[in-house]
Amino acid sequence: MPTRRARAHELKLCHDSLYVAGALVLRRRCTEAQLTIVGEKNASKLQIKLNELGRRQDSVFLNNLSIECALLSTGCVLDALNAVVSGRVDCAAALIRPPGHHAERHRMMGFCVFNNVAVAASRALQMGVNRVMILDWDVHHGNGTQSCFEEDDRVLFVSIHRYDSGGFYPTGLAGGEKKTGFGKGAGFNVNIAWNEGGAGDAEYAAAFELVILPIAVEYAPELIIISSGFDSACGDPLGNCNLTPQGYAWLTHHLITIQPRILLCLEGGYNCNSVARSFSACIATLLGVPAPNIYQREPPSAAAFDSILRTALELRHHWASLRRKSDELFTINR
């Protein structure tokens, strides 16, 4: 599909008006400066100013086309969403950069400018979808997406990520299992937080089977949006996890069994080969290629099982399926 820039009113579905206005002013100034730049020296001055702006953020790096690319990224996701929700296609995938799941209502963060998935979920609700599930398997916690929907029971947000007791980016307690949402959204925020590296197919499959799929079946989403970061893949230099392309395909397959209306959106990933293989495996599964059998696998590590158990126990009073499952898990753990 051809892409387009996201419009201001679309971005404001989950971003503050002042933030959106400021980002658009920055884009205009970059465009104007680019048109008037003569010579390498002036181009360098523009980049110095952008570097200074980036340093005032949290892990943000800007050039003269960053806002333009971010607008195209969100616009692409919105058009793909429209195709799925309208029924023109069964599912869609957005191969986009920059990613979005760290961007919060009022600021850019972690290589992210606009929260592509949060904007799409908000638009889906506006279009009449009653229950949206967001599954974030990027190795970093989707703090921005979580902050948008913590009080909203119309969106089930699930994040599987490295946490390292709050020491892994984004640092702090927001990605811990105790953050389960509040108000009307209590119980609709699910964090499965690995406290060490090395999680692979066995650990992610266990998280799905023991926590995520039971909740998803009970919730019965009308649309699933995947924040599909591939920095949890084997070979990624930042994530140090071990999900294989076959593992991603297996996860995708099981989400299809819950709800075939799926929008998959690229997030992080810092090994181009790992991203290519993993993304291709997910696309193949969405197109109907049978999922691989990953049951010939080692059991999950003790540390990963502990993380899964902690999440189940935090959420058991919100979900009947987890009350049954967490009793089973607690018995196994003993």
- Residues annotated as part of the active site: 102
Tally the C-alpha atoms within 13 A of residue 153's C-alpha that lie toward its C-beta: 9
- Residue identified by tokens 């730049």 is 37
User: In whole angstroms, what is the distance from residue 325 CA to residue 215 CA?
Assistant: 10
Longest CA pairwise span in the chain (Å): 71
For 32, the 3-state DSSP assignment is helix
Instruction: Print burial letters for 240-279: b (CB count within 10 Å at least 16), e (below 16).
Output: bbbbbbbbbbbbbbbbbebbebbbbbbbbbbbeebbebbb
Q: Which two tokens stand for residue 266?
A: 């690229």
- CB neighbours of residue 110 within 10 Å: 25
| Beta bridge partner(s), residue 321 | none
End-to-end CA gap in the chain: 52
Q: State residue 243 phi and psi, 5-degree precision.
A: -65, 135
Q: Tell me the C-alpha distance between 150 and 127, whole Å.
A: 20
Residues 155-184 as b/e (b if ≥16 CB within 10 A, e otherwise) read bbbbbbbbbeeeebbbeeebbbbebbbeee
Residue with tokens 């969100």: 74
Among residues 270, 259, 279, 313, which one has the least CA distance to residue 90?
259
CA dihedral for 266, 269, 272, 276, sign (positive or negative) = negative
